[in-house]
Structure 1
């Protein structure tokens, strides 16, 4: 027996039943997913590991202690979309070594997600990953989850010429280089401000929140309820949401 379709909230908090949900996505032929904290649970340990590696990279670069550098690291992250972008602009840091260093992490804590793989595989049309990380990190992480074979392509920070989400040129390059029609595309993303420009371009936007009852470490500006005007749908159960589209 198939699982029951989830009840989701659309923009403004209104309840959306499964039939309405399917109708709202009937025109979608391109499914775009952020990687970190979206395709795997936000309570997983991958992002904290990457975050710690970023701090270590900056400690070696500037010769300062971690506490002194955390504020600068988060300042760059908020202002430029990624710490890397801030380091490139303000300190002329080369990207390749940085990306290799910060993504050199153990991913073995992630288990294969067979339910997610089945749900993504069943979606009609193209499937793409849009990430502020590197292609190598995206492929290795998706492989660990067991979903790497389902995606046509990965658009990473290098393909975006190191212009990170949420900046408009990052999305415009993505649309152009991968021939994506935003009006026929849906984007799943865990950071609300990364949905602003896609929504302006006509993408159907889905905010992926932490699972119910789970607490994750977030910056204040990253916390969202899903009530934002640029959020069309919000879910704390990505697999259930996708299964609801296919019910």
Structure 2
């Protein structure tokens, strides 16, 4: 494991760059995902006719058990995924500031670049466009393309790598959740955990709070700076 510094040998082999979206490509402090989170609570509350506090408990229970709230709602209540995804992603994207430094860093990486998200493609496109980085990606693999099977389920990664013929031994994956890096690491990817800037808890505390943690190769709280270091080392 390393922090934001990189060594030149770690990424020389990488030609496939895979990025989670929420709280990874945009900074955690932008709080964009809080809008989605609140809309999910409201959706569960309206669907099940529950007070918001109880609806939130149901929402988080489904998230922990199924990987996404949507998966739990589909399993137990037959929710239309298109309706859910449209409503929870009806948010204000201006909360995210454009990040030209991140765009330049992604652009300078050799090989293909993908967004791999448990959200939908429209949300990923709007977010990446607001960041000013959309044009630097070859494609977006969303939860719909994964047949609504979210990370960290191995089936989701299998569909991703089969669709794009990804050589995992030449791939790197960036995520804000360690449990979503377990399968990529097993497949041979280089794994990078992205944590919030100036994160107060120690790395050990982050590690211990993640119920399905894996062997992460690198940790950074500055994605653009980390990628600049990678590009300079290649």
- Per the normalisation by structure 1, the TM-score is 0.87
Higher helix share: 2
RMSD: 1.8
Structure 1: stretches of 5+ with no match in the other structure: 1-8
| CA deviation vs aligned residue, 1:32-55 (integer Å, no higher than 9, x gap) | 000000000011121100000001
Name the residue aligned to 1:48.
Answer: 34
1:139 deviation in Å? Answer: 0.3
Give the equivalent residue in structure 2 for 1:143. 129
**8 A Cα contact 1:191 1:222, kept in partner:** no
Matched, 1:242 2:215: no
SS of equivalent residue, structure 1 residue 171: helix
The aligned counterpart of 1:178 is 164
Indicate whether 1:72 and 2:58 are aligned.
Answer: yes
- For residues 116-171 of structure 1, the C-alpha deviation after alignment (integer angstroms, 9 at most, x for no partner) is 00000000000000000000000000000000001000000000001000000000
Residue 114 in structure 1 maps to residue 97 in structure 2: no
Match for 1:162 among 145, 148, 170?
A: 148
| Partner of residue 97, structure 1 | 83
Q: Is the 8 A contact 2:143 2:149 kept in 1?
A: yes
Show the counterpart of 2:179.
193
Alignment partner, residue 44 of structure 2: 58
SS class of match (1:40): coil
Deviations 1:46-85 (A, max 9, x none): 1100000001111110111110111110010011110000
On the 8 A contact 2:36/2:91 being kept in 1, the answer is yes
8 Å contact from structure 1 (residues 160, 170) kept in 2: yes
Counterpart in the other structure of 1:133: 119
Cα distance change on mapping 1:79 and 1:221 into 2, 3 Å: farther
Structure 1 position 229, deviation (Å): 4.6
Deviations 1:6-53 (A, max 9, x none): xxx53xxxx7864xx221100000100000000000111211000000
For structure 2, which runs of at least 5 residues remain unmatched after alignment? none
CA distance in 1: counterparts of 2:151 and 2:164, whole angstroms? 16
Change (3 A) 1:16 1:55: closer
Question: 2 CA distance for matches of 1:150 and 1:211?
Answer: 23
Shift of 1:223: 4.1
- The whole-number CA distance in structure 1 between the counterparts of 2:55 and 2:16 is 40
Taking a change above 3 Å as real, the CA distance of residues 71 and 27 of structure 1, as seen in their structure-2 partners, is same
Q: 1:158 and 1:76, CA in 2 relative to 1: closer, same or farther beyond 3 A?
A: same
Q: Is the 8 A contact 1:192 1:222 kept in 2?
A: no
User: How do 1:16-27 residues align onto structure 2 when only pairs under 5 Å count?
Assistant: 18=6, 21-27=7-13
